[in-house]
Amino acid sequence: MKILVGVKRVVDYNVRIQVKADGTGVATDGVKMSMNPFDEIAIEEALRLKEAGKAEEVIAVTIGPKAAQEQLRTALAMGADRAIHVETDEEIQPLTGARIFKALADKEAPKLIILGKQAIDDDNSQSAQMLAALSGWPQATFASEIEVEGDIATVTREIDAGLETLSVDLPAVISADLRLNEPRYVKLPDIMKAKRKPIETETIEGLGIEQAAAVKVLKTSAPAARQAGIKVESVDELVAALKEKGLIK
């Protein structure tokens, strides 16, 4: 069984985001970039399934500029068997991304595609659902636990009422939630080995993909500054302040 896993290059989650002065987006020049955290969880889960004997090959895929190969190298260092880079300098929106993964799935014939539930740069949470619809495959989103037995995957997901368990036939699309696992620490020797591994390259045109109609971002702005809080000296003063604001009676 092959597992295809999506990997996206995003601004590192530890970086304080700065909005460009003209409001056209966030500043990325000189900013540390890394693998989308949910995609890192997806890679880890695919590797665990392989180590458990449920899969034979894990293929990491990224869509983006040449610099995105850095994140593919990280996936290879973690243990992915192969890496595919669909190289483009254009902004790729969810539907186009789903079409690209559908074309790669047709070519590679994986039994399972695992994506992060969302990317932390745009927070769309759409690609996995769109890919499942385009492929006609069952989907299980926001997975916090995955078990594979034969041609069936059992997925536990967190919902408002508690936990929901789904059983889906393979091939299927699954999106990884935060509590699915904790990604492994990548060792230096593995990083060095990954630098020498080949990366397969594709283009959007070569895959025969038609770009989806673009959703245009009109403006990006920083969140409003929070009002400063106040300090109280006693419980009585706290209660009085809460009553004054109408928060308690």
**85-120 per-position pLDDT tens digit:** 999 988 888 999 999 999 999 999 999 999 999 998
pLDDT at 213 over 80: no
Give the pLDDT of residue 122.
Answer: 84
Select the more confidently predicted residue: 25 or 81: 81
Select the more confidently predicted residue: 221 or 52: 52
pLDDT at 76 over 90: yes
CA-based nearest residue to 78, from 182, 202, 201: 182
* DSSP code, position 146: E
**pLDDT per position as a tens digit, 115-137:** 999 998 888 889 999 999 999 99
- Longest Cα pair distance anywhere in the chain, in angstroms? 71
pLDDT at 198 over 90: yes
Instruction: Give, rounded to a whole angstrom, the gap between the first and last alpha carbons of the chain.
Output: 62
- Best-predicted range by mean pLDDT (50-54, 119-123, 208-212): 50-54
Q: What residue segments make up the domains of the chain, in order of their start? A: 2-214
pLDDT at 212 over 80: no
pLDDT at 201 over 90: yes
CATH homologous superfamily for the domain 2-214: HUPs (3.40.50.620)
CA–CA gap between residue 128 and residue 139 (Å, rounded):
8
Rounded average pLDDT over 186-211: 91
**pLDDT per position as a tens digit, 138-169:** 999 999 999 999 999 999 998 888 999 999 99
For 175, the 3-state DSSP assignment is: strand
Other beta carbons less than 10 A from residue 45's beta carbon:
23
Both tokens of residue 77?
């260092």
